[in-house]
Amino acid sequence: MNNSRALLVIISILIFFIALVIKLVDIQIVHAEEYSYYAQRQQTGVEKIEAERGLIYDRNNVLLVYNRSDVSFYVDLRMIKQKHKNEIAQVFAKKFKKSKTYYLNLMKGSKKTICIEKKASLEIASSLKKLKYSGFFYKEEPTRVFHYDNLAAHVLGYLDNEDKGVMGISEYYEDALNGEDGSRIIQKNAVGETVTVDDEEINPAVSGDDFYLTIDKSYQFILEDELRKGVEEYGAISGTGVIMDPNTGEVLALANIDDFNPNEYWKYNDFQRRNRAITDTYEPGSTFKSFTLASLIDQKLCRLNEKLNLENGKYKYQSVNIRDTHPFKSLNVVEILEQSSNIGVAKLVQRIDDEKYFKYLRGFGFGNSTSLTLPGETAGRLRKPNEWSKVSKTYLSFGYEISVTPVQIAAGYCALVNGGVLYEPQLIQRQISQNDELVYEFAPKEIRRVISTETSDVMRDLLGGVVKNGTGKKAFSELISIGGKTGTSQKLVDGSYSKQHYNSSFVGFFPVENPQVVCLILLNSPDQGRYGGLVAAPIFKSVAERIVQNDIEKFQQYLNPDLMKNLKFAEDNSGDDERTKTQIKPISVKEVKVSSNNKMPDLVNCQIKDAIYALTKLGVKYKIKGTGIITSQSIAPGQKLNGKDICLIECSEYQVRGASL
């Protein structure tokens, strides 16, 4: 009996070992490659290295958009224990001032991995990163920061939830700004945590290109500020402004009020986010008379001193009644533009051939997109002569039966006053790759000559007269000479022209003797004033005078000599008046020098872009306060870095001295 039991035990052990050998053969030989693949997949992984998006600056190297290193926290619900959920919820509730229940509810979901806190700042995240739980992990996720909130929002655009550029420069140059993501091979433990990184298997990310815009931050701020005041003062639905350099086509500022904050874009509606300066069209009204008169003068079809019968303000042409707001018996050509007579321009335009008139209007850019590097631009509408009715040319002469964008009108006025050349509006001054190679550099793009230099000279004088003697008097400045044209057009509402809703505009330039700036101001449905000369012209004046005082050195030779005595440049007057503006005296700028991979470089008096590049390479997180040139750093130069440092960088743009008005 005992022998039988011993034999049974021996046989059982033998069978077990045979089965074990068979299983080992199956694992090690038969299915070796398959099991090796699964083991390797479980223990190793490919992790994406996100590329840093390129930075965006204004024309004076003022940083507008940068990246902030934030941290997102995740929980893998397959591995997290219930007691750990409670502990995590309690810690996060205290840290982020939310209820514990909020986090517990998040961790009740059926998803494998959930995000319990998205893009927390490094200051808050630093202590949370020390928590160690199976299934709890974090990822460093950069946040795109628009440094001045709403400033130039429609030019810059924003990033959506998937970090894709939407609208503005962010969308148009998405690929160049975004760069190329890299990858690395990581080794994981049994619970999926990263243990080591294979340095030999790292494919580094390539950061996006940096962009320097033609936008001037100071001009942009002034334009937005004055537009916002004007919209409120005159009870308008919205306002649009465009500032351009007439001699190059550079867009110096572009604004729409009401606007939005790209850092919180989801809080705003489609109207607020839409770049109405390029997407919305309108009938320009009397600002269009300048183009009509320029084509007539260029063809020598009228004399400036010839008088026309203006029918005391009422004129019937082809069964259509044409009226002037201010009736006159007769005016000469100069006065017709100054007083903005519809009747006078309607009579004059009959002298030019339809095809020739169309060619001039097309030459000024109407009916075509301007090719501005922003998404969503519309071309407006200018019908061909074979589609005109008997009165179409008449209506066109004073800005009806045509649809234009604000940018088109601004670009057209640049051609009117710069000597007669239409330039392509441009927003990019230069594009620099991360290895400091020049990818693109601005050069004026001449599209065509529209009118002769002589005609342009005449138009400058005529438009100067509109401000001195005509409907644009509220744009007149004692500081600098201004020219321009008012415009008031009825809006189409439900297919018919409204008597309550108007587009009120003023397009001007300064100085008249040598135009350096062209600016369009457009108010949508003001409930006070209504006329462009009453609501848009005063806004233009405020913008112009603030720009001149802000950039006094540029305009100094054109200022009214009688006011020069009030402009002080002496150092001892720098604090006399809180409105004092200054000659710009830049701080001496130096390069960032990295002496060691584990020591903090000296950043003071360096440009932000250079500092960010150096800190990124060193793996140092940073937080920026202010803009311009670095004035202080929280980590002292030469201090050893531990990989967890956060450097607070404080900046200042320029030092202030002397000139006040």
Asked whether the predicted pLDDT for residue 565 surpasses 70, the reply is: no
pTM of the model: 0.80
For 64, counting Cβ atoms within 10 Å of its Cβ (0-12 exposed, 13-18 middle, 19+ buried), the class is buried
Largest separation between any pair of C-alpha atoms in the chain: 140
Amino acid 47: pLDDT: 64
Other Cβ atoms within 10 Å of 330 Cβ, number: 13
pLDDT band of 616, cuts 50, 70, 90: confident
- Could you identify the residue written with the tokens 């059982």? 12
Q: Is pLDDT larger for residue 615 or for residue 400?
A: 400
**Lowest-confidence pick of 18-22, 331-335, 376-380, 631-635:** 18-22
**CB hemisphere CA count around 529 (13 angstroms):** 27
User: For residue 135, which of 185, 81, 189 has the smallest C-alpha distance?
Assistant: 81
Amino acid 339: pLDDT: 96
Percent of the chain with pLDDT over 90: 54
Tell me, yes or no, if the two domains 47-213 and 217-565 fold the same way: no
CB 291 within 8 A of CB 299: no
Fold entry, domain 217-565: Beta-lactamase (3.40.710)
Q: What string of DSSP letters covers 538-591?
A: HHHHHHHHHHHHHTHHHHGGGS-GGGGGG----GGGTTS-TT-EE--BPPPPB-
CB 210 within 8 A of CB 431: yes
Amino acid 321: pLDDT: 92
Other Cβ atoms within 10 Å of 134 Cβ, number: 16
State phi, psi for 507 to the nearest 5 degrees. Answer: -120, 120
Torsion of CA 442, 448, 452, 458, to 10 degrees: -60
**Residue 126, both tokens:** 């630093």
pLDDT band of 576, cuts 50, 70, 90: very low
Tell me the angle at which helices 453-469 and 406-417 cross, rounded to the nearest 10 degrees. Answer: 110
Distance CA 84, CA 92 (A): 12
- Could you identify the residue written with the tokens 């962009």? 211
pLDDT band of 503, cuts 50, 70, 90: very high
The class that CATH gives domain 47-213 is: alpha beta
**Residue 161, both tokens:** 């939830």
CB 368 within 8 A of CB 295: no
Percent of the chain with pLDDT over 70: 86
The C-alpha angle with vertex 461 and arms to 460 and 462, in degrees rounded to 5, equals 95
Distance CA 340, CA 124 (A): 62
Q: Is 360 helix (H, G, I), strand (E, B) or coil?
A: helix
Helix, strand, coil tally for the chain in percent (to 5):
35, 25, 35
Other Cβ atoms within 10 Å of 182 Cβ, number: 15
What does the domain layout of the chain look like in residue ranges? 2-45, 47-213, 217-565, 568-661
CB 313 within 8 A of CB 327: yes
User: For residue 540, which of 285, 253, 227 has the smallest C-alpha distance?
Assistant: 227
Question: Which CATH number is 568-661 given?
Answer: 3.30.10.20
Span 138-180, pLDDT tens digits: 887 888 999 999 999 999 999 998 889 999 999 999 999 998 8
CA dihedral (552, 426, 457, 464) positive or negative: negative
Containing H/E element for 62?
none
Q: Is 240 helix (H, G, I), strand (E, B) or coil?
A: strand
β-pair type (330-332, 307-309): antiparallel
pLDDT band of 6, cuts 50, 70, 90: confident
Asked whether the predicted pLDDT for residue 514 surpasses 90, the reply is: yes
Interval 456-481 mean pLDDT: 96
Amino acid 656: pLDDT: 31
Residue 511, preceding peptide bond in cis (omega within 30° of 0): yes
For 3, counting Cβ atoms within 10 Å of its Cβ (0-12 exposed, 13-18 middle, 19+ buried), the class is exposed
Other Cβ atoms within 10 Å of 56 Cβ, number: 26
Amino acid 419: pLDDT: 97
